[in-house]
Amino acid sequence: MESLTASQIFDSRGNPTVRVVLRLKDRQGVAGQFEAQVPSGASKGSYEAHELRDGGEKYGGQGVSKAVNFVNKIIGPALMDKVNIGEIRLNEQSKIDDFLCQLDGTEKKEKMGANALLAVSMVCTRAGAAIQGKELFEHLALLSGMPTDNFILPVPFMNQINGGVHSGNTLAFQEFMIAPVGAQTFTHAMQICTEIYHTLKSIIIERSGKAATGLGDEGGFAPPLKSADEALHLLELATLKAGYSVYRNQSGQQHGDVAFGIDPASSEFFDKKRKLYDLGFKFDPHDKAKSDFCLSSSELGEVYESICKKYSVILLEDPFAEDDFDSWKNFTREHSCGLEIVGDDLLATNPKRIRIGIEQALCNSLLLKINQIGTITEAIESAQLARNNGWRVFVSHRSGETVDDFIADLAVGLRTGHLKCGAPARGERLAKYNRLLAIESILQSRQEKIKYSYAGYNTQAAEKK
């Protein structure tokens, strides 16, 4: 290894984040430069690994010079020594990540920061793939114990409408997504999603004017909506107007091109003191109607049940707050059949939280965010723990993203069958989708068998039995 250096760059929200560059010498068999950029979330769970920020007035306290300095002065030199004396090889990802965790020495990466450690972990994974002459998705498959043929291209759950803390409208729920489950290829999926996205824009302009087509953090439109029913009605209308059918599951027979997914991100509007979910949390505080939007967990569950049936919602992420276990348990017991109930803040890509979720049957799917845990090895272990217990795994971006496309390879390598990267707008979102198109092209050029499947790993496991 010739060098490992970090610098401060900016994410899609204009906040500082960490970039790491690794350079290899010719004598190591592969010469080249590898890069990694770390994302950041706006809605963060309490159980995520610690993101090290500088504090103070500069950049509103969001600077990452401390994390950068840890890489440049401690992590980089220490890891280079281990690699250059042959104690650790760059294709030994678990050894690298164990070393990083030992350097930090805290459970939540509070000393050096998960953003510093993750950047190094990601860039070493890329270098490890190159050393073996593998594509990144192939290397990730090997690291996770998966085969390196018959890859599955994921169904994109593509953000179309933003609400919650990701937008300036009064819509409480954070994301409304479409899933092209009826597509035949990933290329076909992109066609469906982009056509619906542009059709949705024209409908919003017709109804509310051009000023209503502003975008949220993840590229979805943020029109003046107040309820999930309004948002899903718009998505269904756009789907049909674009010439596609809405997914239906009738008597075990599945039909249709497009299904829907919702991420309420309910921890953001949970009132801990009153134990109520405030769907009017973005309303004017003096709005007399605001109190009508405060719901108990059972009332909120009824809202979910109603809209899921009415609009063929197949995925619901973080329907309840991260510590509201009883609500999770009750809802999952009643609705897990046919509905993917995803834990994000609930689980935080953390094996300890995932085990609690499994033991108490709180949900049936893991949202996999690599910056919630801090190293690639730990992220893979979280995914393995989830799917070994019959759960799905749903790979996810963050609202503060970069053009780094790592998670596209992660979804293919781990055969998760689905992921979310945001809307088909804004370069940091499209970087992931374009990488998936490139992966599809690579596999087609090899004349390899390719699946496009929402079921992902679970389908393959079922076929082996």
166 is in an annotated binding site: yes
- Which ranges of 105-221 does DSSP label H, i.e. alpha helix? 114-131, 136-143, 186-208
CB proximity list for 310: less than 8 A, separation 6 or greater: 229, 232
Closest-CA residue to 156 (of 424, 451, 395, 420): 420
50 is in an annotated binding site: no
Which phi and psi angles does 47 have, rounded to 5°? -100, 10
Distance CA 2, CA 347 (A): 38
User: Buried (b) or exposed (e) across 282-314, using 16+ Cβ within 10 A?
Assistant: bbeeeeeebeebbbebeebbebbeebbeebbbb
> 396 and 344 in contact (C-beta within 8 Å)?
yes
- Token pair recorded at residue 121: 């972990």
Is 44 an active-site residue? Answer: no
Active-site position among 369, 378, 432, 440: 369
Residue carrying the six token digits 């937008």: 167
398 is in an annotated binding site: yes
> 140 and 414 in contact (C-beta within 8 Å)?
yes
Distance CA 283, CA 289 (A): 9
315 forms beta bridges with 261, 340
167 is in an annotated binding site: no
278 is in an annotated binding site: no
286 is in an annotated binding site: no
23 is in an annotated binding site: no
Active-site position among 48, 218, 340, 440: 218
241 is in an annotated binding site: no
How far from 374 is each of 18, 53, 97, 130, 394, CA to CA, in Å? Answer: 13, 15, 9, 22, 17
Which phi and psi angles does 408 have, rounded to 5°? -65, -45
| Rounded (to 5) percent helix, strand, coil in the chain | 45, 20, 40
Is 369 an active-site residue? Answer: yes
Q: Catalytic residues, which ones?
A: 218, 369
Binding residues: 166, 175, 263, 317, 344, 396-399, 420
Binding residues for substrate: 166, 175, 317, 344, 396-399, 420
Binding residues for Mg(2+): 263, 317, 344
